[in-house]
Structure 1
Amino acid sequence: MTDFPGAPDVSDPATAPLGGGRLRVLAAMSGGVDSAVAAARAAEAGHEVTGVHLALSSNPQSFRTGARGCCTLEDSRDARRAADVIGIPFYVWDLAERFREDVIDDFVAEYAAGRTPNPCLRCNEKIKFAALLDKAVALGFDAVCTGHYARILTGPGGVRELHRAVDPAKDQSYVLGVLDTEQLDHAMFPLGDTPKEQVRAEAERRGLAVAKKPDSHDICFIADGDTQGFLEQRLGTAPGEIVDVDGTRLGEHSGAYGFTIGQRKGLRIGHPAADGKPRYVLDISPVDNRVTVGPAEALDVAGLTGIRPRWCGSTPFTAGACTVQLRAHGEPVAATAALVDGELRVELAEPARGIAPGQAVVLYDGTRVVGSATIATTERAVLTH
């Protein structure tokens, strides 16, 4: 039995939240094609749109490194040029200190504790739909518009709900699963019903220079993509053991933070396993600074516990059948979930591989996001000892 309401049958246009009408909209413009087209659509829909670029780095680079990042001076200039073409006012807001405290420091602390965080999810929660939204509402704006690929639909009783995007390859509802009802009430996602290739074609028709600009990826504040090097600069070296599931010492590492659950490459193990099969990171223990490796099947997770749950929509969740997503680009997994003493207990219908504490579990009812929680513990499908 489920407490989830049925799927909605009425959709709000993505550019007309909060009951429709002309709105004062703050468009977060990263300097990429998605946020530029989203801002253009909001303006074309008749809203009073102001563009804003978030300066999230206290020492931004002049140019991007390949397709990584979204916080450079080049990105700021691209956003400004897009705003000029659209014909909307444009400002740069300095949120570097808040970003450092809520996203970067949290990222480092989570790795130091042996967990694997998702900084994009944290940025959406703490920066784009907390710090930015708070400032926008204080200044009299009705909504914050972004280029995320997700939809807001109207469910039973007129409640606004977060749903998957039409384009499954670009769907970003997972990293938006931390948004609560109040934040959704002030959110606008104009691209949720459009495939990415059509967004680029539209940008070109609109004369936006970012039409062919590569997408940003990976972690925006680690421009060169070297996460281990970034962490080592902040946490220093901390040599420890790499062991097999039976405790046999296999090698040494310079910092447990340099590993993630499910990692196969870069283990620096001197000799192969007895069965000749590859080994994967199974566990990271910050207490004794030990990394445990083992066979792929030992990565299978049958259940998990999530803490700090956050819910989308007004219907309280207690228990029921659902699907869950366990990583940003992961496939939906059938599950049953229950809220027990403020924690989310999830049992998976089929084992999922390589799930790590610190990641997010996002619950869905069909395409609707029900809520999310941070994975605290996992239950292995097979014994590793």
Structure 2
Amino acid sequence: MTPLRPGATIGILGGGQLGRMLASAGAQLGFDMLIYSPEDNPPAGRVAAGAWSAAWDDIDALTEFATACDAVTLEFENVPVLTIEAVEAAGTPVRPRAASLTVSQDRFTEKTFLRAQGITTAPFEAVDGPGDITAALETLGGKGVLKTRREGYDGKGQAWIRSPGEAEAAWKRIGEAPAILEAAIAFQCEISVIVARAPGGETRTWAPPRNLHKDGILSVSTVPSGLAKAIEDEARAKAVTLAEALDHVGVLALEFFVLPDGTLLANEFAPRVHNSGHWTPEACQTGQFEQHIRCVAGWPLGDTHRLFDAEMINLIGEAGLVSPASLGPHDTLTLYGKREARPGRKMGHITRRLGPRKE
């Protein structure tokens, strides 16, 4: 592909915080950034060169948007595939293409695909109704996590089942939607790998952070992870394998459970920039948002070398109303431009540099 020149226009499907940070990174590289979102006045739209407010299935609006762009990308994986197809039908390339979304939007499809690439996951069973849960529990050792196949995130659409008697209530709690039951895993910690893949197949990964979740939402990501280099290298290699199997263009995140013996079990992947990579702009030569725009534009990838040890702290709900006076000298605050703080809502994050890279 011919690389985009500064001054070209890149569109983003989605107007949330990830779109906002992508738009800022694209503007820094000299691109005009446009936002398409069903939401009126979204956070990303307020930092972009322009914004479309229209439904995901509005073909006329999508065609107009696509025609205004030299390339289009996305900020989250639940953009409908038909939206991607409409943009492509207008003659504008979308990076990543629909294949990455098709696989990631359904947990059963996702885990089956991961296994087909030799990437081990926790044991799981399909659940199409409450009657499937008892048999699945017997297969999976008597307890597990019931997860909707589609559209669950940040702990939503999930319910623990620790005995057959809890099956009916769990099924109702997830909205009685097609699901999977995933075996309970006694893991040591969770990590993720952020990988970028260019149109020509070049890949770069960042150091895997150790991730701490609270109430199903990422709370803190820390680098270095404290794990052996061999474990980190294996995780990086699996993420590259996944990106290549999808022919993915852009940034992608693959999450892992790490067992006490160092075994890696893939949890899920996101075909986009990721919350656990928010520390990279302040701690690395090239951050995930700039790197994603480089991929979309067909530019050479930047160096992902980590310059600092760091931790990223999510600001959730009322914690997002942080006072700048509370920040330390090595803290970088990023707020997402959301108008209202609600319980469980990501309002921003702090990246804290912990000193020059030690390892």
| TM-score relative to the length of structure 2 | 0.29
* Higher relative contact order (Cα pairs below 8 Å, separated by 6+ residues): 1
- Which protein is bigger by CA-based radius of gyration? 1
Hey, which of these two has a bigger chunk of helix by percent?
2
